[in-house]
Amino acid sequence: MLNLFRKKSSDNRPVNNTDWRDRLARSRSALSDEIRELVAQAGSIDENLLEDLEAVLLGADLGVTTTTRILDAVRQAHKSGVISSPQQVLPAIQAELFDMLEPCEQYLSINNSHQPYVLLMVGVNGVGKTTTIGKLTQRFKEEGLSVMLAAGDTFRAAASEQLQVWGERNQVPVVAQQAGADPAAVVFDALQSAKARNTDILIADTAGRLHTQSNLMAELEKVVRVIKRQDESAPHEVMLVVDASTGQNALHQAREFNQAVQLSGITVTKLDGTARGGVIFAIANELEVPIRFIGVGERAEDLRPFDAASFIDAILPLE
C-alpha cells in the first residue's frame, strides 16, 4: 500500500491533506466516486468492468493513452494474480497513477549560481499566467529572494497594469514599456536591469494571444533568443501555464508549447473549480515535464507545490 501521508511537501513546508481534498473535491467526485460505484457493483474483474472503467477514466479527462496504460496495468495485475477481486482494482489504479505522477514531482528550486535566475511564463490567453506570476512573487519573497517582473505581454491593453498591481502588492520592481512594444525588448531591458541590481529572480510575463498561434510561438522563440544574447544559460525555467478546466485542450497546449519552446516546468491552474483535474495524469504520462505548481484559487496564497501523493490522496483516496 502506498504511503500517501507525508508531513512535508517538496518545498519543505507542511502539507495539509485536508486542504488538498477540499480544493480538489470536484475532480474527486468525477474519478473516485465513479470508480467506487463500479467496483461495488461488479461481481468479478472482467471485460465489462474494464469497459466501464474506461468510460469513467476518459470522462475524468485522463485521455486515451493514459486510460489505456491504466487498464493494461489492471488487466496485467489480474492475469498475474496480484489482484483477484473488484475491490482490489482501486488500489491497483492508485498505484499506477502514483507511478505516473511521482517522476513529475520536482520542486522548482532556484539555483543561485544564476543571477538573475530567469523564469519565462508561457501559455495561451486566460489560463492564469499573470496571476501565477503574482503568486510566485509572494512565495519567492517569503523565501527571502529578491524578484523583478518583466511585462512581456505588450499585446493586451491592461496586461502591464495587472502585473504592476502584483508588483506593488509584493513591493517588487516591474519593467514595462508602452502597449505594442516589442516583448523581446522589454525582457532584454528587464534582464539588464535585474543584473545591475543583483536581483535573484526575473520573472517574465508573455502574451497569450496573437493573431495566430504560429505568431505566438515565433514571438516566444524571439524572446528566448534575446535572453540568450545576455545569458546563454537563460531562461533557466520555461514554465507553461495551463487551465485544468479546459481538459484535453490543456494536454494539446502542453504538447504544442513543448515542441516550440522546450518546457522545463508546468503549472496547472483552476483546479479548485473543475472536475477535470484528471488531465494532470495525462500531462504527466505523455509529456514527462515536471509539474511545478497547481493553482487552487485566485488569491496569492492559492498556489501549491505539486505533490503527487497529496494529489492522489485528494482525488482517488482509498477510503
Ligand X SMILES: Nc1nc2c(ncn2[C@@H]2O[C@H](COP(=O)(O)OP(=O)(O)OP(=O)(O)O)[C@@H](O)[C@H]2O)c(=O)[nH]1
**Is there binding between residue 276 and ligand X (CB under 6 A)?**
no
CA separation, residue 285 to residues 47, 158, 241, 259 (Å): 24, 36, 17, 16
Which residue do the cell numbers 513546508 mark?
A: 13
CB atoms within 10 A of CB 230: 14
Q: Which does 127 bind (CB under 5 to 8 A by kind): Mg ion, ligand X, none?
A: ligand X
Select 93 or 271, whichever has its Cβ closest to ligand X: 271
| Cβ atoms of 173 and 202 closer than 8 Å | no
Non-local CB neighbours of 293 within 8 Å, separated by 6+ positions: 108, 132, 135, 136, 267, 268, 303, 304, 305, 306
116 in Cβ contact with 202 (< 8 Å): yes
Q: Answer yes or no whether residue 26 interacts with ligand X by CB under 6 A.
A: no
Is residue 251 within 8 A of residue 232, CB to CB? The reply is: no
Nearer to ligand X, 159 or 315 (CB): 159
Which partner from the list Mg ion, ligand X, none does 21 bind, CB cut-off 5 to 8 Å by kind? none
Question: Between 1 and 157, whose beta carbon lies closer to Mg ion?
Answer: 157
**Partner from Mg ion, ligand X, none contacting 298, C-beta within 5 to 8 A by type:** ligand X
Q: Is the Cβ–Cβ distance between 203 and 147 less than 8 Å?
A: yes
Residue 186's region, left for phi above 0, alpha for psi from -120 to 50, else beta, is alpha
Shortest approach of ligand X to residue 146 CB, angstroms?
22
Q: Which region among 71-79, 110-118, 227-235, 266-274 touches ligand X (by CB under 6 A)? A: 266-274
**Binding string, residues 44-83; x marks residues near ligand X by CB under 6 A:** ----------------------------------------
The C-alpha cell that represents 202 in the structure block = 526575473
Question: What is the nearest approach in angstroms of ligand X to the Cβ of residue 133?
Answer: 8
Nearest residue to 241 (alpha-carbon basis) of 203, 293, 204: 293
Applying CB under 6 A, the site for ligand X has a residue count of 21
Q: Is the bond preceding 235 in cis, omega lying within 30 degrees of 0?
A: yes
Q: Which does residue 200 touch among ligand X, Mg ion, none (CB within 5 to 8 A, set by kind)?
A: none
- Distance of closest approach, residue 174 Cβ to ligand X, in angstroms: 14
In degrees rounded to 5, what are phi and psi of residue 3? -90, 100
Of positions 96, 153, 219, 313, contacts ligand X by CB under 6 A: 153
The listed partner (Mg ion, ligand X, none) that binds 59, CB under 5 to 8 Å by sort, is none
Among 125, 164, 230, 248, which residue interacts with ligand X (rule: CB under 6 A)? 125
Q: Any contact of residue 295 with ligand X (CB under 6 A)?
A: yes
Q: 126 touches which of ligand X, Mg ion, none (CB within 5 to 8 A by kind)?
A: ligand X
Does residue 248 bind ligand X (CB under 6 A)? no
Q: What string of H, E and C letters represents the secondary structure of 301-315?
A: CCEEECCHHHHHHHH
Residues that bind ligand X (CB under 6 A): 123, 125-131, 153, 156, 159, 208, 269-270, 272-273, 295-298, 302
